[in-house]
Amino acid sequence: MLIHKMRLDEYMAVLDVNSGAVHLVDDVIYDLLDVFDGTNDDEAIAALQTSYPEKDLREALEELHQLQAEGLLFSPEFEVPQTFAETPILKSLCLHIAHDCNLRCGYCFAGTGDFGGYRAMMSKETAEKAVEFAIAGSKMRHNLELDLFGGEPLMNPEVVKHVINYVRRREFETGKNIKLTLTTNGTLLNDDIIQFLNDNRVMLVLSLDGKKETHDNMRPFPNRTGSYDAAVRGFKKVIESRNGKNYYLRGTYTHFNPHFAEDTLDMTKIGKELSVEPVVGIDEPYVLTEADLPVLY
């Protein structure tokens, strides 16, 4: 039986590890749980009787016993299910096809593609090993998900094609259902790669931040020119080629465009499947602040 106590500002919480239950508590219960183990009421009262009235302590203990009865406190250990065993079952894997990017997005969590390291491309051999690792790790699971990511994965088009062909062959040989997703900024989409992705049932995540002005402000090329026109050209072509299915436009809104509903509506001129999310960061000019909340609301 295991619990953890946590305090953050004015909040006090107790986690019952085995059940996963989290309880927000007051000072009396928080302090009682330094002594109380589920069975020793009199000892707990004696330890805290100089700090709290006995009536308050007994009422708190009654609440704790009720949580015990419901299996939400001091719950017994349980047998770890297969999914969480020492050797876990793998459900999905992200393959960094390119540790490089042809854009220099202002909010890029990946260090404009190099992830804080050096710029490099995944080899065909590494890609195959990653696929085999995922297949072996998925064990008896029928469904497996692989994300082709970067940087910009289409900077490494030969490996993109190679790994997709490899996956489709291994999918047939293993009897698994492998879902492929590719995230792209769209500037390198052309007829050849679009046809290949369509033929191989690859879901697309297309990065677009809204209106041209908004998008170009945060997603320029290295020479600081905007990427909107090149991105939209590719997006329109690929969306039309797959009859508006099996994709979504993913946008990020920042401190520079808190009126993000306007950008979202503008995105519907390109496609109808949308995902728009707030930027994440610390002490950067693009980070949303409390001052933005009235506009966001």
pLDDT at 115: 84
* Shared-domain flag, residues 50 and 164: no
pLDDT at 83: 59
Q: How far is CA 46 from the centre of its chain?
A: 48
User: What average pLDDT does the segment 153-161 reach?
Assistant: 98
Reported pTM: 0.71
CATH number at residue 148: 3.20.20.70
pLDDT at 117: 86
pLDDT at 56: 94
Residues 91-127 have pLDDT tens digits of 999 999 999 999 999 999 888 888 888 899 999 999 9
* Shared-domain flag, residues 33 and 107: no
pLDDT at 71: 86
75 lies in a domain?
no
Angle of helix 54-69 relative to helix 41-48, nearest 10 degrees? 140
* Shared-domain flag, residues 9 and 150: no
Q: Which of 45, 69, 93 is the last residue of a domain?
A: 69
Helices marked H in the chain: 27-32, 41-48, 54-69, 124-138, 157-174, 191-199, 212-218, 228-241, 260-267, 293-296
Alpha carbons 48 and 215: distance in angstroms, whole number = 60
What CA–CA distances, in Å, run from 175 to 140, 141, 160, 172, 265? 11, 10, 22, 5, 42
Query: Phi then psi for 3, rounded to 5 degrees?
Result: -130, 155
Residues 200-238 have pLDDT tens digits of 999 999 999 999 999 999 999 999 999 999 999 999 999
* Shared-domain flag, residues 65 and 87: no
* Shared-domain flag, residues 88 and 47: no
Q: Which of 23, 46, 69 is the last residue of a domain?
A: 69
* Shared-domain flag, residues 118 and 264: yes
Alpha carbons 260 and 253: distance in angstroms, whole number = 6
Query: Range of 38's domain?
Result: 3-69
Per the structure, the count of domains in the chain is: 2
Contacting residues for 166 by C-beta, under 8 A, at least 6 apart: 127, 128, 131
* Shared-domain flag, residues 58 and 126: no
User: What average pLDDT does the segment 160-183 reach?
Assistant: 97
* Shared-domain flag, residues 187 and 221: yes
* Shared-domain flag, residues 184 and 257: yes
Residues 1-34 have pLDDT tens digits of 689 999 988 899 999 988 888 999 999 999 999 9
Q: Is the pLDDT of residue 84 over 70?
A: no
Q: How far is CA 288 from the centre of its chain?
A: 19
Q: Which of 69, 94, 122 is the last residue of a domain?
A: 69
* Shared-domain flag, residues 184 and 38: no
What does the block give as tokens for 297? 């609301």
* Shared-domain flag, residues 193 and 272: yes
Cβ-contact 250, 205 below 8 angstroms? yes
For the chain, what is the largest distance between any 2 Cα atoms, rounded to a whole number of angstroms? 78
